[in-house]
Amino acid sequence: MRHLLYLVLFSAACGGAPSSRSISVASDQVSADNHKCGAYAIRTGARTKEGEPITLWMPCWDYTKDSSRYQVRADAATKSKLAQVERTQCIGLAPAALERSPFVQDNAIEEIVPHRGGATVRGANIVFKPIPGLTVSWMRRAIACHQARWRTLGQPATYLAGDPTLVEGAQVDVTAVDDHIVVRISSDTPVSAMTALQRANDLKAPQTAAR
């Protein structure tokens, strides 16, 4: 798997589109056995083409981890301002997912690989270990939610200050390579690309200062 993963990331670094498998509704769900490790389901009311209810699964990881750079500190006025965007952009995410960046889980990250275009740094690839309940759609939803909240507040540097996806001008793509989730953050702006890469590298050893 590692050989395939590096091949995919190398292809992306050379300017090609990342190779990934498509994720169907069926393959994007996790079996009920994963309740044993802490994953839980949210009934959305949505249904598949066959009429079956769609269940959204949350990753099996510990949301109690404390890291101020990856937690949202919001007073009542800020929470009220965010409520409207959450109703459209954060559907199906648990309250704990709204309060923390998905990148707070450094133990769930397997490695950080620079994203390059030739010799130029374009950003970072963040490779997650196989985690029950962690899917492409969940990660996309969590990232989109926090990006929408961040923009609603005017893109403050204090909002999830260590999150590498909250960089002005950065583009984010989430794919699956075998059983790994890969988040690629890219930017054509050198400063933004380096900021995203530095924040990604800091995920394994978070610093105090925001970038």
Write out the DSSP string of 158-188: TTTTT-TT-STT-EEEEEEETTEEEEEEE-S
Is 207 part of any domain?
A: no
pLDDT in tens, 24-60: 223 344 343 444 454 455 555 656 567 766 555 678 8
* pLDDT at 194 (0 to 100): 96
Name the H helices within 14-135: 76-89, 95-99
Is 210 part of any domain?
A: no
Match 């959450």 to its residue by tokens: 86
Q: Residue 132 has which token pair?
A: 């029950």
pLDDT in tens, 125-161: 999 999 888 889 899 999 999 999 999 999 998 889 8
The residue ranking higher by pLDDT, 75 or 40, is 75
**Domains in the chain, number:** 1
Is 208 part of any domain?
A: no
Q: Is the pLDDT of residue 17 over 50?
A: no
> What amino acid occupies position 79?
K
Q: How confident is the model at residue 207 (pLDDT cuts 50, 70, 90)?
A: very low
Is 53 part of any domain?
A: yes
Q: How confident is the model at residue 71 (pLDDT cuts 50, 70, 90)?
A: confident
Is 211 part of any domain?
A: no
The residue ranking higher by pLDDT, 126 or 14, is 126
Is 209 part of any domain?
A: no
Q: Residue 181 has which token pair?
A: 């989730």
Lowest mean pLDDT among 20-29, 82-91, 150-159, 185-194: 20-29
Q: How confident is the model at residue 183 (pLDDT cuts 50, 70, 90)?
A: very high
Lowest mean pLDDT among 1-5, 16-20, 109-113, 128-132: 16-20
Q: What is the mean pLDDT of residues 194-203?
A: 94
Gyration radius from the chain CA atoms: 17
99 in Cβ contact with 72 (< 8 Å): yes
Whole-structure pTM value: 0.73
* pLDDT at 53 (0 to 100): 61
The residue ranking higher by pLDDT, 123 or 131, is 123
What is the Cα–Cα distance from 168 to 159, expressed in whole angstroms? 13
Is 51 part of any domain?
A: yes
Containing structural domain, residue 65: 2-202
Q: Is the pLDDT of residue 184 over 80?
A: yes
Sheet containing strand 109-117, strands side by side = 109-117, 120-128, 180-186, 171-177
* pLDDT at 33 (0 to 100): 41
Kindly state the helix (H) or strand (E) to which residue 47 belongs, with its residue range. Answer: strand 41-47
Is 108 part of any domain?
A: yes
